[in-house]
Structure 1
Amino acid sequence: MVHRPLSRQWGKQRIHDFLQADATAALGALLETTTEQEVHYLPQLVAQLGQPVYFLAGQQDPVMELKYVRHLASFHPSFGCMGNNVREIDHCGHLAMVEQVVSVEENIRKILNQYHP
């Protein structure tokens, strides 16, 4: 929950700035925003979630590679034995909601339709 929502234009501009930045610098900045301790806590957090959990993963994500997404997803019972809670998005890096808007929407609709057809 946010105390005071940011304007939509501000968010769009931040994403635009990030995408236009030098790739190495942008990746470094992104990696610096999450501590190693937080990363190691993620599996415990995922394992504690009682509701269904799904992961949308970009196939070309250099920040959170697909194998790591699958590893993290495996800590939740929804994973099953085949990664049933992981959805791969073709031609996509780390910012799926910007890079593949239609695919993200389609995946979310498919997931929701499983519970409310």
Structure 2
Amino acid sequence: MCVHGWMLSGRLWQPLIAQLQPQWEVWAPNLPGFGGSPRPRGLQPTLPSYGRWLAEASRERAQGRPLVLIGHSLGGSLVLHAAPLLGDQLQGVVQVAAGGGVYQPRPFRMVRRGGAGFLRWRPGWLAELPGTEAIRSPLVAELRAARGLLACSMQRGAVQQLPGLTAQLAVPSLWVVGSRDTVMEPRYVRHLAGYSPDHQVELLEGEGHLPMRTAPERLAQLISAWLNAQSVASPRSWSSASCA
């Protein structure tokens, strides 16, 4: 199951899914409140609440089969929150451009302000124009979900919790980051990955924050080779394919 990051949607993963199939069966849903998918009542815009949703959705989709969670950016934090709830059904974790665990007051404050400003002034009407599908997700994301998850993920407690959640991983993990990623720099990915008992870090030379879009073939080769080497899943044992 592929989990997208903040203000994005499941369609982010389409190029990667095209490379992984048919060997692997993949599901890339929209998180509730993003990509036009509604947020149900009771789902709070916090990392723990979305982590519980992710675990429940994964179990329902997998129908008892083994599964692997793949997270991107903020989606990687949701994966860490969901992992302890999946027990033996979870066979592995792949983190793409996901790291952190180091609280930085000033940069985080700037990100919060920038994100809040974008949400306040984003031109929602633009999403209705032809040819704007590529930028639709940020324009239609639910305000409360987007603002809440951004604020929650930037809190000192949430950031400092990530190393502990990573250390609790009971399955192998693969961490992939682009050498030119300025959103989540490689050093922060390596830092968080280092807390995982059984981890592997791979650097994609020349890539930025969205390697599933810019280098899907290279990323798919890394993931497939790691899955086969670790024997964490057999072909077509992930939850079934659905791209939002």
Q: Cα deviation per residue 1:41-100 (whole Å; 9 max; x = unaligned)? A: 211110011000110111111111111111101001124xxxxx1011122111121121
Aligned residues: 92
Return the index of the structure with the highest Cα Rg.
2
Q: Tell me which of 184, 201, 204 is aligned to 1:64.
A: 184
Q: Which letter does structure 1 place at the counterpart of 2:228?
A: N
Q: Tell me which of 158, 163, 181 is aligned to 1:38.
A: 158
In the TM superposition, 1:1-117 aligns within 5 A as 5-6=29-30, 13=133, 16-17=134-135, 33=150, 34-36=153-155, 37-79=157-199, 85-116=200-231
Report the TM-score when normalising by structure 1.
0.66
Q: Greater strand percent: which structure?
A: 2
Separation in 2, partners of 1:89, 1:39: 25
1:25 aligns to what? none
**C-alpha contact 2:169 2:197 (8 A) present in aligned 1:** no
Separation in 2, partners of 1:53, 1:35: 24
Identity level (%): 36
Separation in 2, partners of 1:100, 1:42: 27
Where 1:38 maps in the other structure, the secondary structure is: helix
Separation in 1, partners of 2:170, 2:163: 14
Separation in 2, partners of 1:38, 1:96: 26
**Gap runs ≥5 in structure 1:** 19-28, 80-84
- RMSD of the TM alignment (CA)? 2.8
Q: Which has the higher contact order (CA 8 A, sep 6+)?
A: 2
Separation in 2, partners of 1:39, 1:92: 25
Report the TM-score when normalising by structure 2.
0.34
Q: C-alpha displacement at 1:115, in angstroms?
A: 2.5
Separation in 2, partners of 1:74, 1:50: 14
Separation in 1, partners of 2:214, 2:195: 27
Separation in 2, partners of 1:92, 1:73: 19
**Gap runs ≥5 in structure 2:** 4-28, 37-132, 137-145, 235-244
Where 1:88 maps in the other structure, the secondary structure is: strand
Q: C-alpha displacement at 1:104, in angstroms?
A: 0.8
